[in-house]
Structure 1
Amino acid sequence: MPGGKRKEMIPNCGEMNRVTIKWRNSMKIRDSLKRKYNRCIIGICAFMMFLLSTCSNDSPINKEKPDVPKPDPEQIEVIGNVPNTIPSDIAIVKQATKISQLTGDYDKHLNKPTLSQAYSRYRIEGTDLGVPFEDGDITWLLFGDTWGPKSGLHDAIGYTTDKNPEDGLNLDFVIDDMGIYQGVIIPGVSTTGAFEVPTDGLVINDEFFLWITTDHSDKISMGRSVLATANRANALKGQYSKVYDLSISKFINVSVVKIKNS
């Protein structure tokens, strides 16, 4: 340097102003971000408080369980009286009482042997229905699907001459050549499938008439109702002949009444 003197550097005023402006702008941006951050924190806190308040009021965990409504006490319906209809002239107010078991060998309910001894005598393991009709001093009982040693579900035919059912019924069954229960046989009509069962019967002058359902399938339980007939000798063997189709659509299950002097 001339004269050996050191020259001092004087800062440029323009540069200082630009630095100051940048610093102020950066401070403004920082303050703006800080305010936005604070508002965001406040919003999150308010939302969390709202959720906690909602859960404390509606949550099934914290809320006491409501009282479970108790079912109405069971009311025993009066036998013979149909609800919500015109009352019948006669209301049977006494409940039915079991007298005895008709089939099987032993009545587990009453703890005593049955009168029929249906398994030991006729190999009947189980059956259903039991439609009765009168024939002078004999009462016939047409049973439905019967389980036993026979192939298929034959319909066992029972009968009794017992006139005092108050102490049980002495029940016998129509049998085949092997001494096993004999079901209803109608050539050309299926009688050994499920739901192919007698629905009623009657006797007129030693001529037996029997109504039975048939044509069971996976889609239709009972597809047809048939009337069949037999003389007394064949009826005692369970052998009937078809008279005609009673119905193939409606009135499959029927109940008939024999009218005197008709």
Structure 2
Amino acid sequence: MAAANRQAIGVDIGGTGIKAGVVDLVEGRLITDRIKVATPPGAEPKDVLAAVTQVLETLEVADSDLPLGVAFPAIVKGGRTMSAANVSDRWVGFAAEKFFEQGLGRDITFANDADVAGVAEQRYGAAKGVDGMVVLTTLGTGIGTALVYNGILVPNTELGHIQRANHGGDAETYAAFSAKERHGLSYEKWARRLQWYYNYVEFLLSPDLFVVGGGVSKHSERFLPLLSLRAPIVPAVHRNNAGIIGAAALAAD
């Protein structure tokens, strides 16, 4: 990899926080501090753009010519955000990539947050070197998913919204980490819900590996050993930095 292409900037926009850093693309690690600011209340486009500008200025890369990738909690097609999770409904159908490019005065790559986390784990983490189908899930407020087949990302999967037949609601309402917290479930009782979810996904896709991310993955020893699946299921490596690393990697492609 040429020296000029060894680094890129990643920005990870979430419902509560916006994080950014400069990434070494050879090793897949941050080479600056991770800068974080709170997501503005209401998460309107103009306010989110101002917050992203702030983190880039704090990193002293606002005028950098390094590739810039932005991860966002939405389905992203052709640079448009087609859904909105924990952000303003104004993002639905919004030309987000163009809006940010005009606001920042530079080219960017805009992508779904779970997808970029999947890219980070496939290139630099728990799924590196794994052939076949890898399913990454992030367990948090909802269940984000990324599908990688033989190293190729299949974008915008929404497997957290698998419906629960005869029970109402969807998978993330029932099995996300927020459901554990909401219902005061022990790890053992929550694992029964996760077992249902991962069984269902395994039946549909027959993956070769599950990777589990999200903040709760740092406690993976408390629930992953309770699951019984055909495919291995392992914790993510990059956790809260996965969005930054994956966004930077996609931007450099």
Relative to the length of structure 1, the TM-score reads 0.27
Structure with higher RCO (Cα < 8 A, 6+ apart): 2
Whichever of the two has the greater Rg, that structure is: 1
Relative to the length of structure 2, the TM-score reads 0.28
Higher helix content, 1 or 2: 2
